[in-house]
Amino acid sequence: MPYDHRSVEPKWQARWRAARLHQTTFDPARPKFYALDMFPYPSGAGLHVGHCEGYTATDIITRWKRMQGCNVLHPMGWDAFGLPAENYAIKTGIHPRVTTEKAIANFRRQIDSIGFAYDWDREVNTTDPQYIKWTQWIFLQLYNKGLAYEGTVPINWCPSCKTGLANEEVTQGCCERCGSGVERKDMRQWLLRITRYADRLLEDLAELDWPESTLAMQRNWIGRSDGAEAIFKVVEPSRVGEGGLRPPEPERGREWEPSQGSHIVDEIKVFTTRPDTLYGATYMVLSPEHPLVDSLTTPAQQAAVRAYQVAARRKSDLERTDLAKEKTGAFTGAFAINPVNHEKIPVWIADYVLSSYGTGAIMAVPAHDQRDYEFASKFNLPIRPVVRPADGHTPAPDQAFVDDGIAVNSGDLDGLSTPQAKAKVTGQLEARGLGRAMVSFRLRDWVFSRQRYWGEPIPIVHCPTHGTVPVPESALPVTLPEVERYQPTGTGESPLAGIESWVKTTCPTCGGPARRETNTMPQWAGSCWYYLRYLDPKAAHEPWSKQVEQQWQPVDLYVGGAEHAVLHLLYSRFWHKVLYDLGYVSTKEPFKKLRHQGTVLAYSYQDALGRYHEMSEIELRGDDAILKATGEKLKVAVDKMAKTKLNGVNPDDVVAEYGADVLRLYEMFMGEFELPKPWDARAIEGCARFVKRVWRLVEEFDEKKAPAGDPLLRLRHKTIKRVTGDLDRMAFNTAVAAMMEYLNELTSSGATREDLLTLIKLLGPFAPHLGDEAWEKLGQPGFLLQVPWPSFDEALTRDAVVTLGVQVNGKLRGDVQVARDAPEAEVREKAMAVPNVAKHLAGKTVRKVIVVAGKIVNIVVS
């Protein structure tokens, strides 16, 4: 009987379910393996072949680990808060919960149809009140530690989504979700002090087995810069010597306190990574929002400065960060004293200085900073070189010399190399109380508010007497009220603000009337800790128990898309470290090993008018794609899968046509796991043939006709070794190739029972339905998952007789068969006797013969 996936696959899925085969168990005597997939947002579109790639990889690894005797944890859940469901609710009035539940049911069905071995007893859903409760609980831990605070900051405002965005959600000045230009808008926000963990988030990357690109992205995002703070005293306008209060400490992420002249402005702090160029500072620049601007500005310059501030404020982020644009700025009328040479230099404001980085003010060294150079050129400010190239070459004119070199025109720094000069001048500043070594981070505090309905309410109450008061743990979760309209108000307040009955509450401290916080958490909140809830998904009185945490943490293998390299993966590391400090988790890092699946691309077909056509309308002939209806030859391209390109591949269709095992095999066989690769509707046929041929070999197996002895013993051991090693390296494509080669040989030379059993065991993790069906057919008891992974004998993976290539001067001229352990002299002799080799040796003197055992012989002649 030919193999029929339509009956075989559901049969085994039902048997696995009935046997509770995928339920997690824990035996302290065995090693543990925690494999985690990035849980999906259950969208209406359903599962994507991209999801399947990552899920198949972890599924194969966990099945393999179970066969190797590990305790395996392999859970799945739903990142179910999110804008699409809410946007749909705005359009249709259907509650996001309803849409989400439907989408989850569909995802579940799809996932089960592919035969993934998830332990559904541990399913988590971020929108479940019991889950929300602990998300809010963690927020309160952050709040109590002073890591969550309110601030009014200019945030990224998406006019289309009508909500504030985190920095991480803004790409190229546009909303990552909808592409609209992002505006700046002042809003009261909740922020999380991730900056306090910047150093640890950076340092601990060193202990992770993560892709280099992701580590680099995190390092860049955190952006540690070592440098110095320098203090410039302000001498204009005539306020010097009045004494009094210092200006407020600039604190990133906070609203600048307006300086109404109630205190004396007396110094400007700057951050620089090049303190060695201090002698070259010829002017200063404050960001337009800097708190000292008002008090510094002289009456004569006031109008110009105000006008510039207003203009800067009106600019979108996109305009402000446009690199190509000309530098702009305004002079404040004030002057400051350069702390090293006491020179009086002008103070400007300009929007190329960001209020949110460093101290929001810079010393400008136009000779050695390209931005300062452009600004100085435009406004005719002096440019003074204070570093010369160490190799004596003349730096290019018309631009700044930004490399390290030797200090010149710099007083007692002259002649020092850049690192030496940095150290010396920093020490001098420190001694005089005019500066110190300082570290700055690019990372900003995390804007943790969304003005939306479909998210976790922030568990805070605002009391007129007691200010912000956390909701007591006993009153958690704060759940979402039912609403009639889901529209964002567009004023910056969430739809929750309009539900008076929900907003009105009492103060937990004094019992007086109070109002609930109406901001909700961003979608990232739930995904910050879901990997911990899987450990103990039903715990009612704690988020997870200490015991299970110690059993399973950390995650041994985390697989998901590279698009989360700096979002989710940085946020959850931050939360994890806070939980570590509080003693709730025992590891510094949550995810030991991380891998990203490569994007699955697809061929798209475009006609002469630029219209895209679906696969079903097309006939493939060799390299050409022909539109069936008209016979037109179409333009073929490889693109990301997109609705507009009609090139999406739906796993349901693939399962229906070829079956889950073929889908799984092809996903793995397509190419290297971590690289992008195109889905080829023809190439999948190769995997379908492989499955059929395996089945035929098993079905037609006849013990009586099997070859005598064990002719493929060595190949069998080699194959076990290859597949095992490939799984260890997550080289799934070559593992499949090894099994194909083995099958080819079994088909042509004949298989023993042991050969077949081994092939099926190796194949089981990849094609579990075929695996169990064949296992049963061969009369074996139980499920493959309960069978030990085959082992190999290293000695049997090596051939007794090997074929060596024979080179003459590095060029292959023949080969020779020798015993693997033949003495070198014999190999040498036989190699030189090969006729074609001898021909190339004729008349030459042999200088050297290199024999690499089991590999090659190279004869060097001249």
Partner RNA sequence: GCCGGAGUGGCGGAAUGGCAAACGCAGCGGACUCAAAAUCCGCCGUCCUAACAGGCUUAAGGGUUCGACUCCCUUCUCCGGCACCA
Instruction: Please give the residues from 622 up to 641 whose contact with RNA meets the rule CB under 7 A.
Output: 622-623
Residue pair 458/190 in contact (Cβ under 8 Å)? The answer is: yes
Near RNA by CB under 7 A: residue from 498, 508, 711, 805: 805
Near RNA by CB under 7 A: residue from 23, 25, 92, 220: 220
Nearer residue to RNA within complex by CB, 276 or 536: 276
Q: Closest approach of Cβ 210 to RNA, in Å?
A: 11
**Segment lying near RNA (by CB under 7 A), choices 144-152, 512-520, 647-655, 832-840:** 832-840
Residue pair 205/219 in contact (Cβ under 8 Å)? The answer is: yes
Question: What is the total count of residues that contact RNA (CB under 7 A)?
Answer: 91
Residues 736-765 that bind RNA (CB under 7 A): 736-737, 740-741, 744, 747-748
**Segment lying near RNA (by CB under 7 A), choices 48-56, 216-224, 576-584, 701-709:** 216-224
Near RNA by CB under 7 A: residue from 325, 432, 611, 635: 325
Q: Closest approach of Cβ 723 to RNA, in Å?
A: 12
Near RNA by CB under 7 A: residue from 320, 588, 593, 777: 320
| Kind of pairing between the strands at 283-286 and 344-349 | parallel
Q: Closest approach of Cβ 563 to RNA, in Å?
A: 7
Using alpha carbons, select from 78, 74, 88 the residue that is nearest to residue 108: 78
Q: Closest approach of Cβ 103 to RNA, in Å?
A: 25
Near RNA by CB under 7 A: residue from 103, 222, 655, 670: 670
Spell out, one character per residue from 133 to 172, where the chain touches RNA: x when CB under 7 A holds, - when not: --------------------------------------xx
Residues 335-374 that bind RNA (CB under 7 A): 351-354, 357-358, 360, 362, 369, 371, 374
**Segment lying near RNA (by CB under 7 A), choices 526-534, 616-624, 751-759, 787-795:** 616-624
Near RNA by CB under 7 A: residue from 147, 191, 804, 822: 804
DSSP symbols for 238-291 = S-TT---PPPPPP-TTSPPPP--SSS---EEEEEES-GGGGGG--EEEE-TT-T
Nearer residue to RNA within complex by CB, 349 or 535: 349
Spell out, one character per residue from 674 to 693, where the chain touches RNA: x when CB under 7 A holds, - when not: -xxxx-x-xx-xxx-xx-xx
- DSSP code, position 491: S
Residues 83-112 that bind RNA (CB under 7 A): none
| Rounded Cα distance, 720 and 722, in Å | 6
Q: Closest approach of Cβ 242 to RNA, in Å?
A: 28
Q: Residues near 756 by Cβ (< 8 Å), separated by ≥ 6? A: 697, 698, 701, 746, 774, 778
Residue 561 binds to RNA (criterion: CB under 7 A)? no
Near RNA by CB under 7 A: residue from 669, 766, 775, 792: 669
For 328, the token pair is 């702009």
DSSP symbols for 781-846 = -S-GGGSPPP---GGGGS-SEEEEEEEETTEEEEEEEEETT--HHHHHHHHHHSHHHHHHHTT--E
Nearer residue to RNA within complex by CB, 41 or 134: 41
Residue 812 binds to RNA (criterion: CB under 7 A)? yes
Q: Closest approach of Cβ 570 to RNA, in Å?
A: 12
Backbone torsions φ then ψ of 190, nearest 5 degrees: -95, 135
Peptide bond into 554 cis (omega under 30): yes
Near RNA by CB under 7 A: residue from 6, 378, 635, 855: 855
| Rounded Cα distance, 391 and 152, in Å | 50
Backbone torsions φ then ψ of 273, nearest 5 degrees: -90, -5
Q: Closest approach of Cβ 271 to RNA, in Å?
A: 5
Q: Closest approach of Cβ 300 to RNA, in Å?
A: 26
For 67, the token pair is 């066969």
Nearer residue to RNA within complex by CB, 382 or 854: 854
Q: Closest approach of Cβ 204 to RNA, in Å?
A: 18
Residue pair 136/463 in contact (Cβ under 8 Å)? The answer is: no
For 584, the token pair is 């709730």
Q: Closest approach of Cβ 360 to RNA, in Å?
A: 6
Nearer residue to RNA within complex by CB, 125 or 647: 647
Peptide bond into 389 cis (omega under 30): no
Q: Cα dihedral angle (803, 804, 806, 809), rounded to 10 degrees?
A: 160
Q: Closest approach of Cβ 488 to RNA, in Å?
A: 25
**Segment lying near RNA (by CB under 7 A), choices 84-92, 453-461, 750-758, 846-854:** 846-854
Residues 270-289 that bind RNA (CB under 7 A): 271-274, 287
CA atoms within 13 A on the CB side of 363: 36
Near RNA by CB under 7 A: residue from 133, 577, 761, 840: 840
Q: Closest approach of Cβ 740 to RNA, in Å?
A: 4
Residues 565-604 that bind RNA (CB under 7 A): 565-566
| Rounded Cα distance, 536 and 34, in Å | 13
| Rounded Cα distance, 161 and 152, in Å | 20
**Segment lying near RNA (by CB under 7 A), choices 208-216, 467-475, 513-521, 762-770:** 208-216
Nearer residue to RNA within complex by CB, 253 or 554: 253
Q: What is the CA radius of gyration of the chain?
A: 34
| Rounded Cα distance, 81 and 41, in Å | 8
**What's CA 551's distance to the chain center, in Å?**
26
Residue 311 binds to RNA (criterion: CB under 7 A)? no
Near RNA by CB under 7 A: residue from 14, 45, 105, 216: 216
Give the Å distances, CA to CA, from 108 to 46, 117, 672. 10, 12, 27
Nearer residue to RNA within complex by CB, 354 or 475: 354
Q: With 0-12 CB in 10 A as exposed, 13-18 as middle and 19+ as buried, what is 396?
A: exposed
Near RNA by CB under 7 A: residue from 442, 466, 592, 714: 442
Nearer residue to RNA within complex by CB, 144 or 172: 172
Nearer residue to RNA within complex by CB, 389 or 782: 389
| Rounded Cα distance, 359 and 350, in Å | 14
Residue pair 33/556 in contact (Cβ under 8 Å)? The answer is: yes
